[in-house]
Each structure stands twice: as C-alpha cells, then as structure tokens.
Structure 1
Amino acid sequence: MKEPIVCDYLIIGAGIVGLSLAYELTNRFPEKHIVLIEKEDRVACHASGRNSGVLHAGFYYSSDSLKARLCVEGNRLMKEFCREHEIAVKRCGKIVVAANEAELEGLHELERRGKRNGVEVSLIGTDELARIEPNAKTHKQALYSPTTASVDPALVCEKLSEVLKKKGVRIHFAVRYLRRKGGLILTNRSDYQAKRLINAAGLYADKIARDFGFSKHRVILPFKGIYLQYNGNDLPCQTHIYPVPNLLNPFLGVHYTLTVHNRVNLGPTSIPAFWRENYSGFEGFKWGEFLQILYYEAKLFLFNSFNFRKLAIHEIRKYNRKHFVGLAKDLTHSCKANAFNEWLAPGIRAQLLNTETLKLEMDFLLEGDEHSLHILNAVSPAFTCSFAFARYIISEKLA
C-alpha cells in the first residue's frame, strides 16, 4: 500500500475559487505545502470556465451579505491581477434599464444597494443614456455602473494555475475524491493526508461536505445557463445591458453581455437541470443524481416555493430561440433577432437549496471546523469576488 501524500492544505477543485484560495495561501504562507486536486484534466472545466466573464460591480446584493462585502474589492483585485499578468480587461460598464413605471422602484433599490455597498453607480436620464449606450431603451431613467467589466474567465484560471505551479503549489489532475476514511482523503489515484482540507468542489461541494458532517439540510440544485451569440456585422451594444431583476431570486434575467473578445451574447437561461453535469444529451448522467434532483424539483413544483412553477415553465420556453431573443427586445431600440443564431456551450450553476425551507440560498455559504472547510453556494458573483473571497476565508475561517 502506497504512503499517503502529506500536505498542509489540500484543496478540492481547480475552479476560480480553489485556484484563488491556493494563490492567497501561498502568498501568505510560502513555507506551507499546498496541494490542489481536480477531477478533470485541466482547470476551469465547469462553471469557472463557462461563465460570461462579467466582472460585477456589486450593486445587486443586500448590504448584509458576503456578496456585497466582497464584490467591490473582488472587482478591483481581479483587474489588478489581470493588469499584472497582461490579461485583457474590457472596461465597458453596465446599463440597467426599466421597462415601465413599476420597474423604476427596482432601479432605485439597486442604486440604494450600490451606494450602501460602496459601488460607483448612478441613475441617469434618457439623454445621458443615449450618450453612453445609444441602443439601450428605458423608461425615464437607467442605472449606470462604470466599473462593470469583462474578462476571459478561462484565461484567468489558466494564468492562475501557471503562477501557482511556479510558486510550488502542486496541482494534481484527473484525481477524483472518493471518500473520507479517518484522517485520510481517498481518491481514484492516491490517498492524501492534510492538516486542513478545503472543499471548493462546486457542483459536488455539498456531497463532499456531508462526508464531514456538514451541508445536512442543503443540496445542490443545478440550473443550466446557455447564451446565444450575435453574428451580425455590427455590434448591437457598447456596454452590458441588463433588465431590472427580480431581487427575490438569484437570477438576473436575459441580458446583453459584451465580451472581452468584442462579441455580444444574449442570455443566460436558468433552466432547471436534471443532474449535476447535465450539459448535453445524456453526457454525465447519473441515476442517483437524477432521482435526487427530480425529487426536489417535483417538491418545489408542488409547493411552488419561490414561484418555482412559473420559473421552470418560463425558463424551459427559452429553448425556443425566437422566444428567447424576444425577451431582450424591450432592452434596446434595435435588435436584429436573426443575427443571434449560435447557441454557446452551456454552463451549470451550482445553486444551493435549503431542503427545510425549500428556498434557494442567496449568499455564499461556508461550513467547517478545525479539520475541514466547505465552500457552498459559490455562485455568481463568485468569479468577480474570488480574490477577495480567498482573503476573507483565510483571515476569517482559516486563521
């Protein structure tokens, strides 16, 4: 029997959260032995490499949340990392538009949240809107966020992994967590013995947490996000254009995203998925996951928690391209619907559900003890927050 690999910190998951944690740990404690394991053959194969790349400003989140606390600083630190490593950042800003009088109050609430959270944000009239984003259409006022930007998320993660390797962090690919056995972490390749385990496994974070006695009343409920890419000869917008969201759920509605590569995407969907890696066809299908998720989705549909019935029906209709594009027409004066004609690779949002209240968790969630720490519900804006999130975790939870 092989001797276990011994380390000070063992991190599970090479997405942006696991990578940024390793980065902050090795910067603070260069003498520590840090190992990161990833079940895929490269970094950022799931949510971190499949998201829109939007760097959020931080005005959506209530001031008592970790998201609000970390987003502004995370935005700054991500831009700083990109500047240091010559990674392009598109500083395009964001416009949030109102469709009618009723949505104006939502717009004002976003401004209030932004001011409380220390975000540079302002309400603007239609004349100023026409100067900043001529194609955006709003009712009386819009919200302008100049610090919202875009990056290439996969490129950021790849650069992080390069930096980590140079700093002596060991990243082991194709290593899948199996179970805990006493003080050992068993995988398909080797056994590991760590002074502290950090679970940043995304879609599987809740399952690993339960092996350590955590996430007892919470389960990952996956939602599929798909974008449509614009393939016209022009650009329909110069900034991100978003609608006023329903602040009672964590989804931001169909919007225009301007990428760092100067492409415009429309989306995303938030379609309930039926297993955790339900990207395409029956790829990644697992009976156990299917039955568990189907059980909770049926329960949510039956009790209509957080208006799940309407959400599910509304989202499934987005598979119809014409309907999907139609949802964005009210955001702009001109929308060349036929030019939004290419579905991009889907991503899966690892959204945490509280199984006692049947409500979606709105904030980041951490559980753990002196032996292990479990990062649950690391959903948007986790990419934006990642460097600030890592600093918070190390200072507040690992110190």
Structure 2
Amino acid sequence: MPADLAVIGLGPYGLPLAKAAVAAGIPTLGYRTGPDSGSLSPAELRRMVSGGFRQATSPTELGRVRTAVICPPTPRGEDGGLDLSQMETAARTLAAMLRPHTTVILESPVPPGTTENVLRPLLEESSGLRAGRDFHLAYSPSRVDPGNRDFTPANTPKVIGGLTPACTESAAAFYGRLTDKVVRARGLREAETVQVLETNFRHVNIALVNEMAVLCHDLGIDLWDVIRCAETKPFGFEAFRPGPGVGGHAVPQDLTGPAGRTLRMVELAQQVNSQMPRYVIQRSATLLNEHGKSVRGARILLLGVTYKPDVADQQSTPAQEVATRLLELGACISFHDPHVASWSVLDRPVPRADALYEAVAEADLTILLQQHRTYDLQGLSVKAQLLLDTRGAAPTGAAHRL
C-alpha cells in the first residue's frame, strides 16, 4: 500500500503524529533519523501496521508520499541554543528524494525564521525545486502532551503557517484529516513563534509557583491550599503547581532569533527552575536532621523518575540531578517507578525496589518525585518513616510537602 504521509523522525514529536495519522486512516511511512527516543511496544506496532503504518527501509521511499513532516528533536546544545543538527540531516535526506507538489511541514521546535532561512535552502539546494512554486512548505508547532487522556490529536487545535497562502492551505488540508480544528497563522514566523510562546509560558509559570513554594515554606504558609483556593477564580488565573524541577523535550527559548534577542523572563525562569533539585536536597537534609539522621549513609528511596506522570520518558528529568547530588553527599539511594525497569546515575545502576511497601518502610526518607497513578500515596505515607512529597499529591497531613 503506498503511503500518503512520511513522518521523518520517530521521536517525541514524530511518533505521536504517526499514531494519530494511522488512527485517522492515513497510510503512513515512518523514517528514523537516528537514535529516536520514541518506542513502540510489539502490540502497538502490530496495531499500527494493521492500520497502514510501515517503517521505511530506504530514503528512496520518502519520494513517494504526498506529505512529509519533519519532526526530529531539537535539544539544547552546548551553547544554550537549540541543536538543529538532526533537523538539518532529516531535511537533506528528504531533499534528495523530494518530488514536485509534495507538502513539506516542519514540527520540530525551532527559533523563528528557521523554516524559511534554514530548512528552505536545504530543501531547494538538493532537490532543484523551489518552495512555494514546486512544493509547499509550512510550519506547525507540535502540541504533544504525553499521558494526557483528555486531549488527543483529534480534539487539539493545530496551528499552521505557510510560506505562501497556498502552502498554508495545503498543510491545513492535511491536518484537517487529523484534528477537529485548524488555526491558520499569518505566516511561517508567526507559527514558529506560537511554539516559543507556548513553551515559555509553561516554564515561566512553573518558575513563579516554584518561587512561591520556597517562600511559602519559609513563612509557614500552605501553598497547596493557596493554589486550591486561587484556582476557583474563573478568569485571569491558571493553576500551575511546583515540583522538583522541569523536564521534557520542550526547551525554553530565551534566544528568539538570529538577532539573539534575550527574553529576560525566560532567562530568570530557567534559573529558578534549575535550582529546584537543589532545594529538594536541602529540604531532604533538613528533614533527616530533624529526625537525628544525616544524609551521609541515609537510605533514600526515590519514587517516580520520569519527567511526567504515567509515561516512561526520562528526558531532562529532575530525578537525575536529585539522585546525583544525593550520591555525592554519601546517601544510599534506590528507586521505584512502574514505567522504568532499570535506571543509572553517574554511570552506575541504581537498585530498583521491587517490593515497594517494604522498601518504603525500610527507607530513612522517601521522596516522591513523580505522582504516577498507580501510587497509593495514603498507603505509602502510612508505611514511610519520612515522606517528602514534591508534587503535592499525598493527602493533606500525610507527608511533608515541598
């Protein structure tokens, strides 16, 4: 069966898109661009294959589709900006096979101007085709929320911005097969900047509530009760909750383009959020000290080491830094996570607690870093000698909250 769609990059952005396309009845070709972090269970793969999915065995297959979506990850590089190398490699691979009338869409997070100033020349140079005349070129910010059961690709609006109005309409026609609502941006840069705003909105608001957590603890104020009350306001407020740090694939951008314009709010938010793992260590040491124990030699159990509840993804999880600092202070750490079979820190395997309740009872301190649905926090808090809840998920009074 010929494919209508090629998804180039089967990582955190491409794999959900491929699943959504197959669910919508679109024959889909998946092309890996390298060590993509997305994975499919054998059962998921069988379901997708039966629905019209197949993985490409050669780049030549990319020249036989009507729509190609480029979506490799763009992690933070050594200079602090986004590393576009995987996106550029994917573009060169596609360009060599690009045919006239193909619609090419970029979904990877990128600085504004990237689609036109980086992707477009790569596609045109190798293909000999011209964007906007021989093929359509557009950008659409990825709106993936792993583990969210309420919002799926079908009911999440898709923003589209094209090089030309015809490019926008071609991309909109494709995404109209996946979602109930398509929103047309004025152009490529506007669509790219939607992604920047959405990502930074999350990080800035998490930073605000993280600062509030530290302040409220110092003042003896129950921040979680404050949030509970504040979120009853029907306008002008959206509830965010503190935590041990911010993980995930969406990297906050304080450099918004070639001019290197710095967003000071985002820069400050990054500083605040990056301090939260250290604050968790500080609170842990204080709790142990109050109970006559030292971090050195203490048995500390970490619950939930993924960056998000109910998913296996560990991208930029704050659990890594928390564990690293505990080891450096001489603690004896172990972990439990229903989605992670094995875990390493500082190139050393961390013991996994298979008997959860026994491990909680034996630990001098248990730190909840991620609130997976399977955790019975009422029951765990009864067993724990000390429980530090960094997510505010345990019943009131059952644990020490961040």
Normalising by structure 1, report the TM-score: 0.26
**Higher alpha-carbon Rg:** 2
Please identify which structure carries the higher strand content: 1
Report which structure shows greater RCO (CA 8 Å, sep ≥6): 1
